[in-house]
Amino acid sequence: MDFALPGEHEMTRNVVRDFCEAEVEPIAQEIEEEHRFPEEIFEELADLDLMGVPVPEEYGGAGGDYLMYALVAEELGRVSGSVGLSYVAHTSLGLMPIIKFGTEEQKEEWARPLAEGEGIGAWALTEPGSGSDASDMDTMAEKDGDEYVLNGTKQFITNASEANSVLVKAVTEPGAGYDGISTFIVDPEDDDGFEVSTIWDKMGLNASPTCELQLNDVRIPEDRLLGEEGEGWEQTKKTLDGGRISIAALSTGLGQGAFEAAREYATEREQFGSPISKFDAVRDMIVSMDRKIERARLLTHKAAVKYDDGEDVTRISSLAKLDASEICREVAEDAVQVLGGYGYTTDFAPQRFYRDAKLMEIGEGTSEIQHLVLGRELGL
């Protein structure tokens, strides 16, 4: 990155980069093959005060902004998509909604442990039948005295098997559509009836658990309602603005990692007496990778800065997520091509970046949904 960052941001990025190269990169392929969530990495991130980067210091966070958080997400993605995905799901989905919409008591009880790295957060929106229409929700929350009783199934929930708290979306007013959805804080350890029924084997990102949840008569006190009844969908839209910036940053990092692997290989690998980087086809491919990644990074940083300034970022965050995720997949695919047969083996990183990249075009709203969002923002 050539342009100057604010001093504290540059320092944070460098600290994370050094940590990633020393601690994450050496085990990145190993944890994928073992399908193992690397608890030790997240404990070390907590020691570095990085588990609550955009959270105010009064609630246990680092007091940073979304640009700083995006830099951390990019550096993690540069070496491990799985670590990066679990990190951003924890921060932007599991933690920040409590900071933005919770009471002081909820922030103290539920947000502080997450921000200080004493636990992992998760967010449960998607259901088996909902697909891209996330508002098509069957999970119900019925009021019973001073409690709510939750029943339903949630699908493709990142971190759920490791989480200390899960923000669950449920219908509190059937027939009210978007206005009938609410958000609840669920404790996986202590709330009876909460079950992780499946941890999915996936094409990639297997060190980041993706789960199916069953909620069977889960009783929670009414003070676990986040905000007011019926505010769940507005909370969701605001959360996704930040979540899309997270995925854009993670995508940029994945692309950067794939690019660096391809460039290193191309400058060292010789054919016909010359490094393959001297051949026009390979050189042009690597130059194109660099151009695309820089575009994604600039768009992501623009979205993060606007978010920090309190502007409406629905359009720019969607644009950043769409562009960065597609660029990420393109760059990772080209990186495999540069390495040829070696790029298809697990001895080299591009195959992992390529498999991880595909989810970036699906999670936090598919590319098709981003086009829908952008069309609406343009009045189309």
CA 102 to CA 3: how far, in whole Å?
37
Verify whether residue 44 is a known catalytic residue. no
Exposed e or buried b per residue across 181-196, where buried means at least 16 C-beta atoms within 10 angstroms of its C-beta: bbbbbbebeebeebeb
Tokens of 318: 């969607």
CA distance 199 to 211: 4
- Tokens 């051949």, located at residue: 279
Angle made by CA atoms 180, 186, 187, in degrees to the nearest 5:
175
Distance CA 137, CA 125 (A): 9
Distance CA 281, CA 364 (A): 35
Q: What are the tokens at 231?
A: 């505010």
CA dist., res. 56 & res. 361, Å (int): 31
CA distance 63 to 53: 6
Can you say whether the dihedral through the CA atoms of 104, 107, 110, 116 is positive or negative?
negative
Contact 306, 318 (CB under 8 A): no
Instruction: Give the integer Cα–Cα distance in Å for 303 and 358.
Output: 22
- Residue 6 DSSP class: P
Evaluated on CA atoms 260, 261, 267, 268, the torsion sign reads positive
Catalytic residue among 105, 364, 368, 377: 364
User: To 10 degrees, the CA torsion angle through 105, 110, 113, 115?
Assistant: -90
Q: How far apart are CA 336 and CA 315, in angstroms?
A: 32
CB count, 10 Å around CB of 100? 15
Residues designated as active site: 364
